[in-house]
Amino acid sequence: MIVQKLVRNSKPQRRRSGLAAMELVMVLPILGIMLLGMFEFSLLFFARSSIVEASRAGARAATRIGSDLAQIENDVGLVLFPPLNQNVQVEMVGGEHSGDPVTVGVQVPMNSASPDFLWIVGYSLQGRYLYAESTMIKE
C-alpha cells in the first residue's frame, strides 16, 4: 500500500494581481531609452557613412587639375543628404603640384544628422561633430 503524505504550505497564498503591470512600469522606461538610443545611433552611423563618401568625392575633385574649393564643396554637397548639407564645413590641405597628396576633410555637427534623443540620460549631441578625411594624389 502506498502511503501518500499531504504537504501543506504553512504560509498563506499571496495574491499576485498587478505584478505584471508593476514589472511593465519598471521595464518600459529602460526599454524606451534603449530603443531611442538604437534609433539615434543608427542615424549617426548612416550619416557617418555619407560623410565618408562625401570626403572621398571631395578628394577626387581636389585631384583634378585646376580645381578650387568651390568645386570641391559642390561635389561634397552632391553626395550629402539635405540636413547634413546645411552645416557642412569642407577643408582642403596640400596638392599644389602634380603628384602631391591632397587631403579633404568634411565636418558636420551631429545634431544636424540625428535628433538629440539621449539628452535625457546625459548624452547630448550638442558640440559634437562627425568628421571624415580622405587623402589622394593630385593628377
38-73 b/e with 16+ CB inside 10 Å = b? eebeebbeebbebbbbbbbbbbbbbbeeebeeeebb
In a domain, 20, yes or no: no
In a domain, 19, yes or no: no
User: What is the structure's pLDDT at 5?
Assistant: 57
In a domain, 9, yes or no: no
Give the structural domain span for 132: 28-137
User: What is the structure's pLDDT at 99?
Assistant: 87
In a domain, 81, yes or no: yes
User: What is the structure's pLDDT at 66?
Assistant: 83
The pTM assigned to this predicted structure is: 0.77
In a domain, 46, yes or no: yes
Considering its fold, how many domains does the chain have in total?
Answer: 1
User: What is the structure's pLDDT at 3?
Assistant: 54
Closest CA to 138 of 100, 105, 104: 100
In a domain, 16, yes or no: no
In a domain, 122, yes or no: yes
In a domain, 11, yes or no: no
Dist. CA 102–CA 68, nearest whole Å: 12
Whether 40 contacts 117, CB under 8 Å = yes
User: What is the structure's pLDDT at 102?
Assistant: 93
User: What is the structure's pLDDT at 6?
Assistant: 56
How far is C-alpha 83 from the geometric centre of its chain's CA atoms?
Answer: 14
Coil/strand/helix, residue 39: helix
Mean pLDDT, contiguous 10-residue spans, the chain (139 residues)? 57 71 90 91 94 95 89 92 90 87 94 87 89 93
